[in-house]
Amino acid sequence: MNGWGWCIMASLLLAGCAPPVMYSYLVYENPTAYVRLEPSPWVDEDDPSTWNTHPATLSRRQLQEALKGLRVREHRAGLILWIRGIAEEKPAFRDDEIDLLTTRLLEGLDLAVPQEVVTFYVSHPVNSTRREVTSGGLFVTNGHLHIILSNHRTIYGIPSAGLIYDRRYPLFSLAPLNVDILFDSTDAIIAKKKEGLLDAILGDERGGEIILDLTKLAMIQM
């Protein structure tokens, strides 16, 4: 469970298990997907230096390049890496998911305030009790697009009763993220800041994050 997941669980306990309001505006929703605006868990309301550069206006081409260029690779380390080698890279999003998300994410970024993050959720049924979930968030800071994958093709068992977490909390990792997040144009990637001691102890709550230079995205030839 990532740091944001622990925050959710703590807030549920403090609230007597009543689900808190987690979003400020619903951009789009259907039975299997949505895009919405939420208060950013990484923003300090009293510290403008932590605020996002919102509202943010991206071109359709920039966002499509970002989504199409995003890659995932099964995470392998130690003995598994030595035996099986590096896993094959695969697109993070399917074409139909990109078609669904692009317009709605652009609208969300254009509506967001500096204290908000644009979240997304896409699911596909596996059977009557399980579904495959991909979710996360986007935000912009000073010309950099941050993309977070909290879940990627994660299989979620729908509970027969009780709180359904996957649709409520798109930034909550339903299981440890078992993929590395990559991009097909390495020139567009911005290196993340090295984690501090506190992050190392508590865990990186944005471990499935990649940061892209929007000016470089505009120059990529599709």
pLDDT tens, position by position, 81-103: 555 556 578 999 999 999 999 99
Of 4, 13, 32, 8, the C-alpha closest to 137 is 4
**Is residue 191 domain-resident?**
yes
Quote the pTM value: 0.83
Residue 211, classed as helix, strand or coil, is: strand
Instruction: Please name the residues in contact with 169: beta carbons below 8 A apart, sequence gap of 6 or more.
Output: 5, 8, 22
Q: What percent of the chain lies above the pLDDT cut of 70?
A: 77
Which has more confidence, 180 or 221? Answer: 180
The residue range of the domain holding 125 is: 3-217
Q: Does any domain span residue 61?
A: yes
* Residues whose CB is less than 8 angstroms from the CB of residue 14 and which lie 6 or more positions away in sequence, other chains included: none
- For residue 124, being part of any structural domain is answered with yes
Q: Is 13 helix (H, G, I), strand (E, B) or coil?
A: helix
Task: Return the SS3 of 168.
Answer: helix
Q: Is residue 80 part of a domain?
A: yes
Burial (Cβ within 10 Å: 0-12, 13-18, ≥19) of residue 151: buried
**Distance of alpha carbon 2 from alpha carbon 205, whole angstroms:** 5
Identify the helix (H) or strand (E) that includes residue 11: helix 3-14
Question: Cα–chain-centroid distance for residue 39?
Answer: 14
Instruction: Report pLDDT for 119.
Output: 97
Residue 34, domain member (yes or no): yes
How many folded domains does the chain comprise? 1
Q: Is residue 222 part of a domain?
A: no
pLDDT, one tens digit per residue, over 162-207 is: 778 899 999 999 988 888 899 998 999 998 776 554 444 444 455 5
Polymer length in residues for the chain: 222
Chain centroid, CA 50 distance in Å: 18
